[in-house]
Amino acid sequence: MRRPVARSLAVLAVSAAVAAVGAAAPPADRGSPAGSPAEKVPVATGYGGAVASVDADASAAGIEVLRKGGNAVDAAVATAAALGVTEPYSAGIGGGGYFVYYDARSRTVHTVDGRETAPLTADAGLFVENGTPLPFAEAVSSGLAVGTPGTPATWRTVLDRWGSKRLGTLLEPAERLARDGFTVDATFREQTAANETRFRYFPDTAELFLPGGRLPAVGSTFKNPDLARTYDELARKGVGALYRGDLAQDIVDTVNKPPVDPASGWNARPGELSAKDLAAYRTRLQAPTRTSYRGLGVYSMAPSSSGGTTVGEALNILERTDLSKASEVRYLHRFIEASRIAFADRGRWVGDPAFEDVPTRELLSQRYADSRECLIRDDAVLTSPVAPGDPRDPAPCATGGTAAPTTYEGDSTTHLTVADKWGNVVAYTLTIEQTGGSGITVPGRGFLLNNELTDFSFAPADPAVHDPNLPGPGKRPRSSMSPTIVLDRHGKPVVALGSPGGATIITTVLQTLTGFLDRGLPLVDAIAAPRASQRNAARTELEPGLYDSGLRERLEAIGHSFRLTPEIGAATAVQRLAGGKWLAAAERTRRGGGSAMVVRPAR
């Protein structure tokens, strides 16, 4: 990332009013006029639509489209394309993601799975060499890690179905940013520095991101003319140019023969991506997951992402507890234990449904959640790893089998949230996996390739138990991305949100939702609240705001064990207020703070 970087609707309305007053320190009610320097503030309220992302230039691109009559889908694509310029280590056309769309006219939610896919030649031993799984660090910066990109195909799918503007028009702000440049901040420099060693393995990456052989200076202007030309090509030819033709061949050649500096000594193992893989790529239009929580409908991504099922199961487990009246200790204890249990089931059951029999409906049933909730005690802590249950045959407090460890997912993802004046809403999470992706830049094209295939399990945790997340031909690796839209009982939006952060995405979305819906926090405060993340591990990660508080000692007295982590997630969200007004919210400080904008701060 460029910048480190059971309540009634009446109660929700009160919370919305509190949020609209403005809990953030910077001025809230402002949008940036097109063409002016974008100011980064964490909360904004107003009319005509709203955009929240991690980056001010990207949010401004979305606002520009809304101001010119585009809808939420149009603005989401424009924002995502701009993030590919200013957040190139987090997202871009070399990656993939998940798109959740609320259609105001029909009051329905639709989702698009734009996850990357493994080559058609891949098998369960993709990351096994001489009978042993490759070290993660060796797999990441290699052709083996690169999946067929899904982001451009996602843009085509959503624009064809719900957009109102041409792709070329929507790429104009991003192309302009790439051509004219953006201002380097401390985080962009820090993230470049963290990748400097491996970026130097690949001459094209070093030439682009280490101009003149040096780290980019804070305050300097960073330009990417190659990406500007690539965006121009996509604008003229359509995104099909990335899946067929010269650009597609450039991607195939780069993956199969990574352009490594021979003097580096780096073994960038070749991949097996083919022109057929790119030509065969398709997004998936599929039904969202749906969970009923406190009388609201919570909609998110079904597998191949585990976000919707895991957040949904955890919410169902928490449904029996009145979190609005719970003490802070009991609230956090219940949140942590529900996360622990949901992750146990995630590891056992969730994979690509085109290859695996994923019991999505059963994982989201209240009956199954109740059978798992009874494991939680207020005076003791479950021992991790918790074994999974069987959602197909739920038995009270039953567990069985071997717990699967949570696979590592890089945290260099990004999330954007958009609403328009007609009431349409988009929650869109996109990624190239870890910071800097594979580290491999397509020569002359200006973008990094993903390392998403390292989200697969390299080997089963227990050879006797089926692992649903092993590689396979054309298979999508399991993800944790959780773009989420919450509707009231009339089918109108309450809030939409999402976050980057690898597997911590799930706990970030869960904690933000419960903070907002149950604890009564204004949306920007629910985002800013110090976070905990439990993923069926021995210790729960805590941000300093919790680790350094008295709450930690009180939770440890119950039996919790903690590990300090500097930062968890970087959420963005939008909230529907009364009278056609929207509130956009983002981080105050995490990853340098986020950027919330509206088209008009007043009618």
Q: Which residues are the active-site residues? A: 413
Locus of tokens 């480190």: 4
Locus of tokens 């006029």: 33
Phi-psi region of 594 (alpha: psi -120 to 50; beta: other; left: phi over 0): beta
User: Which parts of 324-374 fold into alpha helices (H)?
Assistant: 328-349, 360-363, 366-373
Two structure tokens written together for 205: 């990456």
Distance CA(564)–CA(547), nearest Å, equals 6
DSSP 501: S
User: 117 - beta bridge partners?
Assistant: 148
Cis omega (within 30 of 0) for bond into 149: no
Two structure tokens written together for 560: 């919790």
DSSP 183: E
- Long-range (24+ apart) CB contacts under 8 A made by 546-549 are 546/332
Distance CA(101)–CA(84), nearest Å, equals 21
- Listed residue (589, 348, 568, 286) closest to 478, CA to CA: 348
- Listed residue (80, 119, 37) closest to 447, CA to CA: 80
Let me know how long the chain is: 603
Distance CA(235)–CA(440), nearest Å, equals 24
The CA–CA distances, whole Å, from 511 to 15, 100, 483 equal 16, 20, 14
